[in-house]
Chains A and B, each alone.
Chain A
Amino acid sequence: MEEKANILDIRDLSVSFRTDEGLVQAADRVSFSIRRGETLGLVGESGCGKSVTAMSILRLIPSPPGRIDSGEILFRGQDLLKLPIEELRRVRGKSISMIFQEPMTALSPLQRIGRQMVEALQLHSRISRREAWQIGTEWLRRVGMPNPEEQMWAWPHNLSGGMRQRVLIAMALMLEPALIIADEPTTALDVTIQAQIFDLMRRMKKENESLLLITHDMAVIWEMCDRVAVMYASEIVETGTVEQVFRNPLHPYTRALMAAIPSASSKGRELYHIKGQVPPGINYPAGCRFRERCPIAIERCGMEHPMLDPYGDQCARCFRAGEKGVAL
């Protein structure tokens, strides 16, 4: 039974940003959960709200202009949105760690890599400086950093973007937190290094760590995740196990995403592409937000807003999700 317990439950999370053009709805009643030892993938077009959702978990939304308008984020049953800030600080890093999409901002430019690693380690466990230094070096090695002993002495600005990213991955993993939130962790890295890091993450998962993995790469979802949540225009539009969603995607956006990926058999052929653009988050249309781009839209789609309804163990936000034999 313990295995099945949810480590994270996000319920009806809504986040908005005040901008010159108006109020941007960045996450709109987002709900999903992650079980212990499970990896959940979050995919979707740029700007659909993936990072905003992830940053909300540790309450890292810049405010102003951002604001968490409503919702609950239950971590081991405790609502992080209601936690006093000192207690939240203890959760950050030790219980939940985050790998950010923009690595530049996450390292202090004024301290050497080694010092930053040692301080993070000593903040959360009672070990000596020397021990911490050794652990840090070892983690740099594990994430594929060349010359880890030497790099401990490096300044962040001496490292390439890919190397800085590896430092951040090492720092997120070395505290062995219960939940890791990784926002496009390997997008800036080579596939060979990515493989090494995924290998590492997979091994940590065996120790029952949970992972929220944000990526735009469907193949990474296939490779790494147990379940997947697809986001479109600030909402979750489909969830299910990876096997289910890849075999039988229910939402036309998910189907279009799959069809747009080049594969061995697509060579030289025209790739499917979704016409039109994501509607701006300032003023979402009243009906289905995918309607303008949807090849199978019906009249109802323009009038009513579809709910995220269950179909077996899968969920989809589409009026036609339950129909059989609908082409794209």
Chain B
Amino acid sequence: MNPLLQIRDLQTWFPIHRGVISRTVGNVRAVDGVSLDIYPNETLGLVGESGCGKSTLARTVALLEKPRAGTMHFSGQVLSQAQPGIRRKIQMIFQDPYSSLNPRMTVLEILTEGLVQHRRIKSSGRVTAAREILADVGMDPDVLYRYPHEFSGGQRQRISIGRALSLKPELLICDEAVSALDVSVQAQVINLLLSIRRKHGLSYLFISHDLGVVRHMADRVAVMYLGQIVEEGPADKIMDAPAHPYTQALISAIPRIGAEKGKRIVLQGDVPSPAAPPPGCRFHPRCPYAQDICRREQPELKGYEGGDSDRKAACFFAGRVG
């Protein structure tokens, strides 16, 4: 099967400015050589430490940031700002449903703004379209003339999902979309996202720091560290038997109900800066297994000895440590 989204060697950097004349003194290498595929009707989970570049990667795919290098293809077509036709097919929902919804717009306006803009409906068809969307996200169709502040967090997240769905996207990017919600509300939104996927056959790029939620949602998982993907493979396999030392630390750090308490890998060493990533393997200063080769050479993301064919890791000792 051909991937829906194909990313190769993607880099998105942010210049660091200093001084009165705003000289560029360096770059934050937020995304620094990422290659990824997302297949039709697939959910790819993206996990990793705060600041490792997940949102920047997502925003680059959604064409909200400009990459400095690399290629992106969507259904075989080049994905770039110059292709507004494809742009609509990638929609994004964010963590904070409040700040991402315009407080002065009614639900009707929020849900149909994009449709009207993309000339997909006449303004006379707005009410019908909006009611359909509301039914789709499990909300009462009679709330059309209400404003965002009149809703709870979970309801607001439903409205953002509805707005994203209104343009019939093929890829929905969820950046911490359920993270701010209470467990019981979170369960509802997760159920909604799963049922939407079944009904419309979408693909998701699902970003979350909650690995339990990622496991529940994702078919495959990509683990990001300091701007790069360090491990990739089927969600269950990665969660049950992580191959990369960073993934091992990450998974052992997650509190789990029923697990033995206080048994975990506690990483030592400082979190390095994405403006000056360490040479060799970027994880080596914190890695409990680092050898000389790790300090000198950069490991590639690829299959490894003894690993299943659907798994990849960027570590010289992948699958042999931990």
Residues of A in contact with B (beta carbons under 8 Å apart): 45-46, 144, 146-147, 160, 162, 189-196, 198-199, 202, 216-220, 222-224, 246, 256-258, 260-264, 266-268, 270-274, 277
Q: Indicate if B300 sits at the interface (CB-CB under 8 A).
A: no
Taking a contact as CB atoms under 8 Å apart, the answer to whether A257 and B183 are in contact is yes
Select A219's contact among B182, B216, B256, B267, beta carbons within 8 Å: B256
> Can you list 12 A-B pairs, Cβ within 8 angstroms, ordered by A?
A160-B50, A190-B50, A192-B49, A195-B252, A195-B267, A219-B255, A223-B255, A223-B256, A262-B190, A262-B212, A267-B216, A273-B184
How far, in whole Å, are A32 and B239 apart by their CA atoms in the complex?
38
Given known contacts A192-B267, A264-B215, A216 and B182 CB-to-CB distance under 8 angstroms: yes
Q: Is B209 an interface residue (CB 8 A)?
A: yes
Query: Which residue on chain B has the smallest CB distance to residue A263?
Result: B212
The 8 closest A-B pairs by CB, nearest first: A262-B216, A223-B255, A195-B253, A146-B270, A271-B187, A219-B255, A260-B187, A273-B187
Given A146-B270, A218-B257, A274-B184, are A195 and B264 neighbors across the interface (CB < 8 Å)? yes
Q: Contact check, A146 vs B272: say whether CB atoms are below 8 A apart.
A: yes
**When the two chains form their complex, are residues B253 and A222 in contact, meaning their CB atoms are under 8 A apart?**
no
- Do A191 and B270 touch across chains, with their CB atoms under 8 A apart? no
Complex-state Cα separation, A222 to B212, whole angstroms: 15
> Given the complex of chains A and B, what is the CA–CA distance between A144 and B249 in angstroms?
15
Contact A246 B257 (CB under 8 A): yes
Q: Which residues between 129 and 183 of chain B lie within 8 Å of chain A, taking CB atoms?
A: 152-153, 182-183
For chain B, residues 199 to 230, give those with C-beta under 8 angstroms from any C-beta of chain A: 209, 211-213, 215-217
Query: What distance in Å separates the Cβ of A104 from its nearest Cβ neighbour in chain B?
Result: 15
Residues in chain B near residue A146, CB distance under 8 A: 270-273
State whether the Cβ of B9 lies closer than 8 Å to any Cβ in chain A. no
How far, in whole Å, are A129 and B262 apart by their CA atoms in the complex?
36
- Given A219-B257, A263-B257, A268-B194, do A189 and B183 touch, yes or no (CB 8 Å)? no
New A-B contacts (4) at CB < 8 Å, excluding given A224-B255, A258-B257, A266-B216: A192-B49, A195-B265, A222-B259, A263-B216
Give the shortest distance, in Å, between B273 (CB) and chain A (any CB).
Answer: 7
The reply to whether B257 and A260 contact each other, CB–CB distance below 8 Å, is: no
Q: Is the CB of B262 within 8 A of A202?
A: yes
* Set of chain A residues within 8 Å of B23, measured between Cβ atoms: none
Query: Which among A193, A194, A273 has the highest number of chain B CB atoms within 10 Å?
Result: A273
Does B236 touch A at the CB level, under 8 Å?
Answer: yes
Known: A267-B216, A268-B216, A270-B191. Contact between A222 and B266, CB under 8 A? Answer: no
* A261–B190 CB distance below 8 A: no
CB distance from A211 to the nearest CB of B (A): 14
Residues of chain A within 8 A of B191, CB atoms compared: 270-271, 273
* A198–B187 CA distance with the chains assembled, in angstroms: 26
A147 to B257 Cα, complex, angstroms: 34
Measured between beta carbons, the chain A residues less than 8 angstroms from B186 are: 260
Selected contact of B182 from candidates A46, A160, A262, CB within 8 Å: A46
Given contacts A199-B266, A223-B255, contact A46 B50 (CB under 8 A): no
